[in-house]
Structure 1
Amino acid sequence: MYSRRYLARLMRYWILTALLWLGSGQNSWAQRLAYTIEAAPQLPNALRVTLTYTTADTTATIFRYANDNWGETGLGACLAEVQANVPIQRKTVGDLVVLTVQHRPRQRVQLSYFVRPDRTDTLSYERTYRPIIEQGYFHLYGYGLFVQPARYWTTAEAQQRVRVRWHLPSGWKLLTSLAPQTARQVVVNGPASMLESSVFVGGDLQVRKLPVGGEPVWFATRPFQSLALDSAARHLQLAVRAQRAFWRDASQGSLAVTLLPTYERRPIDPNRRHLSVSGTALLNSFSAFATDADGLGPEIAERVDYLFFHELMHHWIGKQIRLRKEEQQYWFSEGFTEYFQTQLRLRMQVLNPAQYVQELNQDFVSALSRSPVRNVPNDSITYHHFWTNRDYEKLPYRRGFLFALYLDTQLKQTTSYSLADCLRVMLARSYTTNKKGFTDPELLTLIKEVTGVDPTPAYQRYIQQGQSIDFSSVALPPGLRVQSTTDNIPLFELAPAQREEFYQFMVR
């Protein structure tokens, strides 16, 4: 999953920022923003952040810190001991903690605060989106680390320079989203989301530099008992090479990837496997967590492989090929990501044809057929439904995957193009004429422009209306056929003699 929750909150933030700014009378900044972040033995389970700036011709500066973000609530409890060399007022407004700093025009201001985790129990999946500061290491997303000024970025697209400096104990490693990713001082230029959608890890880590073409991949891990990290690093390299070759995109720079273990608070029942592997695509990076438990090594490794391919695909679908309506377009951002990451795992022989069909049946056909919301219209996938109901959450992944399979098959059998050709044109347009994001009609028009086939009628039936695709009545890839089961779920079956033909068709 990429950080899609950010977009809806970002719109609310800019509305609130405008109201706060109008009340503060701010004009501009006299000096660039600078943060210094300190971790030290005398600061157990905490990071101290100092922010310095010189004010312009104003008498107040407003800062904000995420209180509710990415499904987490009450994050303001992690922001402690806020102090300044001038009067400061703190209050919670909506999903933000708002700090109002009073000062004289052109005064030098120093603001400091501590970030402390509000939970110190066993590091389980439920804690991974909150600040993690344990004995010997830390993991934070930017929204939980930085107090940001409301007026420094005047719009969501505005670019500003920020300096970030780290003071860490000798021997500690550091990896962040901000290039150069291992440097203890960086000066970066970008929008407000640059800080919020970044990850920062440091401490007793193993950091590998993995060569992949011209730009490296940095891979930071903590010790696992059940996962062979050398093997995970090789698979990460494979995934990055496969993605960059698929997209034929040389613009991607270095990448930071983190993988940390989580632990179950209850004993692992061998008959009920409680494990979680999750990740989030971010700025030039993605962070991942995986349950570490004896006896689950092969299953965890398989899920980590899947996660690498899925989250890396989001660096293009969702990050570069942007979309206008978040939940309403998850059929594309999540469904097409699932389809093409599975296709890439087949291409790179992480999956063989039989395993591909098994995954297709289990994770998509059967799962969608058994879903109580399988035929709800697309506009039912609202923010509330998606983040509070597991069936709605998985619906666009499954529906979008099967629609991509249907459309890709029809294009390959009736034209000289594939769905992948259309995505590469979308990528090219995202760098030039469509930087603000695609609407559904624009996506469909582009597919017709490239291939001559209009996907709109099928899109209306299978995506907007939520009708099930009857694969028994349409052309299928070579060797694939539909076989009804005793519970009337039409599953796919692959003829063993045509596995190679199926493989060549799918990866074309």
Structure 2
Amino acid sequence: MTRFLPVIYLLCSISLFAKAQNKNTAPPLAYHLGWDGKSAILQVSLDYMPANKDSTVFIYGDLNFGGQKEIFNVLQNINTKDKIKLTPRERKITVYHTGAGPTKISYTINGQLVGNPKRATVDELFRPLITPNILYLVPQFFMINPVGHPASEASIQWDTFPAGLPYFMSTAAGAGPAVKQTITLKQEQDVLMLMGANLVINTYKVHGIPYYSITSKSDTINNLKAELKPFFERYFPGLRDFWKDNEAPYYYISVLPLLSIDKPWATGYSQKHGFVMRYSGKFDDDKKRVLAHETSHSWIGNNMQIGNDEFDNQWFGEGFNDYVTMINLVKSGIQDKAAFLGYVNKNNLYDHYSSQVKNAPNDSIAAKFWIDKNYQTLPYKRGFIYAFYFDNQIRLTSAGKLSIIDFLLTLFKRNRQIHAANPAANLTLDDYIAAASKFIPEKQVRNEIQTYLIKGKPLDFKTIRLIDGFKMDYHDSIPVLTIGKTINLKKIYAQ
């Protein structure tokens, strides 16, 4: 029999407000959650102190998080003692206050599985998912933080929940749902919450850092614990060695099956200290590359971003990251020379040089990213191919003494300097140019960025020299890489 655990919180909430007011600081936003373990409905209430006596505006959802234009539809049964106005097209709730002091707004989140195979890869990642066997939440799915509110923290308290179910909250791994957690609002995008009977949670240590894997017993065709073991033993330690970086409070990977798609597939997104993945079918090389790529984003993409908008220079955030991923997959022995060649030739060179949008300029990508798969993959391919070329040029210029690793460590050092002065600041294109110019001439760097990465002209490998053992031929208009039989690729990428 399912047992529910009620929690009395009213007096605690009032006490919180009083203490915060005494300190002359904004009280934290206090979220209370409830789930019966059977339905697709999450009960939510928010206790808050209005920052303005007249009205408070709430915005639900983030269109940049998976392009979910209809996300406001999952927010239902909104209730407050005051008058409210809904503006669905803007995902906006306006509450007009009739009195002073702390107040509350309650609502429900409908996490019903959409069940559309055509949209499964985005709907099961970027919408709340609540079924009898799995509850999947990130704060964007249940928080409606008031616009312009001075609060810097939010508490999360489960008032009712099914007893005994495995539970994981990324910022408080090991704590059960009965324990109230407080996060800074800056942490909001670092939080993952999972609950469900089929969850399997394992703990590892990587260079002394706690690492967690969350998988599901519902997968009956893969032995994920065995498939993931090389990542915890070799790939993740190798990544940290690559970047010479062992500074992290924790890291997790959530690797769960897709529920509404049968064909082999894998997708996911990264958080600051973790990766959320959905997959179907056999956990093959393609899925391992997705896992490796997204976890590699802990550095390029999450920690190091060029420009203030993630779409500004995705050729770096996605493409360079993908090349680093392949380097470390080879170094860790998870993928061999044949797998590397297959990925370079089929997934990058062929796909890019045969693409109808291969010449599209960089500034055209953002508008079509979520609606056109060709544009969605363009920065990945373009950046990967350029990173491969750039690595070769550094190796040739330095007579094999240096590689793209040295360039990236130089850029990472600059990134740390910037964050030390202003944690919210990002690298600029000039920072990239300054770092790259330590390895190849600055004029060449600037010209190549404009020509190949900004304007979008594909590299012409007919005129490009590669390191010994690497050869690029053309089949029709498509470049094809071959690597000499005696070349030890693992040794090359160990340098």
So what's the TM-score if we normalise by structure 1?
Answer: 0.83
Alignment of 1:21-420 (within 5 A): 30-41=26-37, 44-55=39-50, 58-66=53-61, 68=63, 69-84=65-80, 86-92=81-87, 94-105=89-100, 107-117=101-111, 119-121=113-115, 124-128=120-124, 129-153=126-150, 160-166=152-158, 167-180=160-173, 182-184=175-177, 185=179, 187-192=181-186, 194-196=187-189, 198-204=191-197, 205-222=199-216, 223-237=218-232, 238-264=234-260, 274-292=263-281, 297=282, 300-324=283-307, 325-381=309-365, 383-415=366-398, 416-420=401-405
Give CA deviations for 1:150-170 in whole Å, capped at 9, x if unaligned: 12358xxxxx22221224322
Give CA deviations for 1:443-481 in whole Å, capped at 9, x if unaligned: 112221x43632222222221232222224322133111
Letter in 1 for 2:66: W
Distance in structure 2 (CA, Å) of the matches to 1:29 and 1:479: 64
Q: Residues 490 and 285 of structure 1: is their aligned pair in 2 closer, same or farther, counting only changes over 3 Å?
A: closer
Letter in 2 for 1:162: A
Equivalent position SS for 1:250: coil
Query: Please, which of 394, 403, 408 is the counterpart of residue 423 of structure 1?
Result: 408
Distance in structure 1 (CA, Å) of the matches to 2:48 and 2:326: 48
Distance in structure 1 (CA, Å) of the matches to 2:231 and 2:491: 24
So what's the TM-score if we normalise by structure 2?
Answer: 0.85
Distance in structure 1 (CA, Å) of the matches to 2:94 and 2:173: 31
CA contact (8 A) 2:57 2:92 kept: no
Give CA deviations for 1:304-332 in whole Å, capped at 9, x if unaligned: 31122101111111111122143230111
Query: Please, which of 447, 464, 468 is the counterpart of residue 474 of structure 1?
Result: 464
User: What does residue 452 of structure 2 align with?
Assistant: 462
Shift of the alpha carbon at 1:263? 4.1
Distance in structure 2 (CA, Å) of the matches to 1:284 and 1:203: 22
Letter in 2 for 1:148: N
User: What does residue 17 of structure 2 align with?
Assistant: none
Distance in structure 1 (CA, Å) of the matches to 2:284 and 2:459: 33
CA contact (8 A) 2:112 2:131 kept: no
Letter in 1 for 2:145: Q
User: What does residue 25 of structure 1 align with?
Assistant: none
CA contact (8 A) 1:38 1:168 kept: yes
User: What does residue 8 of structure 1 align with?
Assistant: none
Letter in 2 for 1:453: P
Q: Residues 57 and 357 of structure 1: is their aligned pair in 2 closer, same or farther, counting only changes over 3 Å?
A: closer
Distance in structure 2 (CA, Å) of the matches to 1:181 and 1:150: 32
Q: Residues 90 and 173 of structure 1: is their aligned pair in 2 closer, same or farther, counting only changes over 3 Å?
A: farther
Equivalent position SS for 2:315: helix
- Across the two proteins, how many residue pairs are aligned to each other? 454
Letter in 2 for 1:440: L
Q: Residues 481 and 437 of structure 1: is their aligned pair in 2 closer, same or farther, counting only changes over 3 Å?
A: same
Structure 2 residue runs without a partner (length 5+): 1-23
Equivalent position SS for 2:103: strand
Query: Please, which of 432, 448, 453 is the counterpart of residue 441 of structure 2?
Result: 453
Letter in 1 for 2:205: P
CA contact (8 A) 1:87 1:102 kept: yes
Shift of the alpha carbon at 1:29? 6.3
Letter in 2 for 1:152: H
Equivalent position SS for 2:407: helix
CA RMSD of aligned residues (A): 2.5
Shift of the alpha carbon at 1:337? 0.8
CA contact (8 A) 2:397 2:440 kept: no
2:417 equivalent to 1:432:
yes
Distance in structure 2 (CA, Å) of the matches to 1:417 and 1:409: 10
Equivalent position SS for 1:432: helix
Letter in 1 for 2:91: L
Equivalent position SS for 1:337: helix
Distance in structure 1 (CA, Å) of the matches to 2:316 and 2:253: 24
Distance in structure 2 (CA, Å) of the matches to 1:432 and 1:489: 41
Distance in structure 2 (CA, Å) of the matches to 1:189 and 1:146: 12
Structure 1 residue runs without a partner (length 5+): 1-27, 155-159, 269-273
CA contact (8 A) 2:169 2:194 kept: yes
